[in-house]
């Protein structure tokens, strides 16, 4: 595993100064948590939440993302405010989804859903394990490591509590939701599973080690070899999952996949097949109208991109892998995407929540500040 205290800054390699990188990093935190464009809100009781400004709800996705930013920025106060809100309003204590988190909740605390989204659980677990390493454990819900391990246990072991696990226990692949047998490529976080293999309960460490390998193999299948595009939802063989949900194109969730490959490369080194897929993606998006939604083979659909800033950010973060590709022109293409991202401001308006989270993570990764604790 890489030395997380001395991660490579691609920004500095590409000529941006440490001072301007630091200034932009501080501005990102301010815009999300403090400024007039923020979407973090704190209640009088000390709990805090982030609003999905496009859907006017609070999601496990966003809460777990905000907790990760709090760890990376060393803001334990914000982390604790978010985690208290999660445990008070999202944690389910009964029913088939006991010990999971309701994926959508009204800002008043009333649940909009009685089921989870597995990407929330894996991010919560990672947030908590990092918090343990960075700040140490306290008592109750602030025994971060104990809660991180409890979440991972609940994701796999449902024998005595009912419901469905979040991973297929045979092929080690994460599911879209627990009760189905297909996946979402952007949920696959092999770089997280490497940490789970280190810090989870002993009996599960071998599972997480295999999950990291299986997810990397899966991403090779899910990302088209020619275009680098991947579907939002996919079957276990990597092919687009086609059903009434209509999410088999390269659409909003799917943007995160290349960013995840970039961060895995930063933390664990490159996998040539995935570096080539991300380079193919950068080439495709550079040479096609990036406001249009495409199927994974590069055919345009009738839809248009809802999160253009997020798309730029994640494609730039993919440079961490794409620059190592054997495809012709990969390094220069990676530089152009980083430059494009640098010149792109944070988003304003109703859809700023998703775009600006992706922006923040891309910036941390490209500046060497998305650290593994």
pLDDT over 60 at 152, yes or no? yes
pLDDT over 90 at 5, yes or no? no
Nearest to 360 by CA among 66, 80, 125: 66
Averaged over 191-201, what is the pLDDT? Answer: 98
The single residue of 121, 194, 224, 253 carrying the catalytic annotation is 253
Averaged over 239-244, what is the pLDDT? Answer: 94
pLDDT single digits (tens) 311-335:
999 999 999 999 999 999 999 999 9
* pTM, full prediction: 0.97
Structure tokens at 330: 């990969």
- How high does pLDDT run on average in the chain? 96
Torsion of CA 58, 62, 67, 68, to 10 degrees: 180
Averaged over 76-89, what is the pLDDT? Answer: 98
The single residue of 52, 61, 80, 127 carrying the catalytic annotation is 61
pLDDT over 60 at 102, yes or no? yes
Q: Any idea which residue has 């922006």 for tokens?
A: 359
CA dist list (Å): 262 to 25, 101, 185, 348, 366: 19, 28, 14, 26, 9
CA gap 244, 86 in Å, rounded: 31
CA gap 238, 254 in Å, rounded: 13
Averaged over 203-217, what is the pLDDT? Answer: 98
Helix (H), strand (E) at residue 333: helix 330-342
- CA geometry: angle 311, 316, 322, nearest 5 deg: 120
Active site includes 253? yes
Buried b (16+ CB within 10 A) or exposed e, 204-221: beebbbebbebbbbbbbb
Active site includes 45? no
Averaged over 281-302, what is the pLDDT? Answer: 97
pLDDT over 60 at 6, yes or no? no
Nearest to 183 by CA among 85, 253, 80: 253
All structural domains of the chain, each given as residue ranges with its CATH number in brackets, are 1-38+215-373 (1.50.10.10), 40-166 (1.50.10.10)
């Amino acid at each position: 595993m890489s030395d997380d205290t001395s991660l490579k800054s691609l920004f500095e390699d590409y000529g941006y100064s440490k001072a301007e990188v630091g200034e932009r990093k501080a501005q990102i935190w301010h815009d999300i948590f403090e400024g007039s464009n923020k979407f973090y809100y704190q209640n009088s009781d000390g709990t805090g939440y982030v609003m999905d400004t496009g859907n006017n709800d609070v999601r496990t996705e966003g809460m777990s993302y905000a907790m990760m930013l709090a760890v990376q920025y060393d803001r334990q106060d914000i982390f604790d405010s978010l985690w208290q809100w999660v445990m008070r309003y999202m944690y389910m204590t009964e029913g088939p989804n006991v010990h999971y988190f309701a994926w959508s909740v009204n800002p008043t605390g009333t649940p909009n859903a009685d089921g989870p989204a597995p990407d929330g659980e894996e991010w919560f677990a990672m947030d908590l394990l990092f918090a343990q390493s960075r700040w140490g454990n306290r008592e109750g819900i602030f025994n971060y490591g104990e809660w991180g391990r409890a979440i991972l246990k609940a994701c796999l072991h449902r024998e005595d509590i009912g419901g469905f696990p979040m991973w297929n226990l045979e092929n080690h692949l994460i599911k879209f939701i627990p009760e189905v047998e297909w996946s979402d490529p952007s949920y696959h976080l092999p770089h997280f599973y490497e940490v789970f293999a280190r810090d989870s309960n002993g009996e599960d460490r071998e599972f997480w080690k295999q999950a990291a390998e299986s997810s990397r193999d899966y991403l090779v299948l899910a990302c088209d070899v020619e275009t680098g595009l991947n579907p939002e939802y996919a079957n276990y063989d990597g092919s687009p999952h086609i059903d009434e949900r209509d999410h088999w194109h390269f659409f909003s969730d799917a943007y995160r996949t290349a960013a995840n490959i970039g961060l895995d490369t930063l933390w664990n080194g490159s996998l040539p097949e995935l570096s080539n897929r991300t380079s193919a993606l950068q080439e495709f998006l550079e040479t096609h109208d990036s406001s249009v939604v495409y199927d994974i083979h590069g055919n345009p659909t009738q839809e248009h991109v809802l999160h253009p800033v997020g798309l730029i950010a994640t494609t730039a973060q993919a440079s961490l892998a794409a620059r190592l590709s054997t495809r012709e022109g990969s390094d220069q293409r990676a530089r152009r995407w980083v430059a494009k991202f640098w010149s792109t401001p944070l988003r304003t308006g109703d859809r700023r929540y998703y775009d600006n989270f992706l922006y923040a993570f891309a910036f941390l990764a490209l500046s060497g500040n998305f650290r593994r604790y």
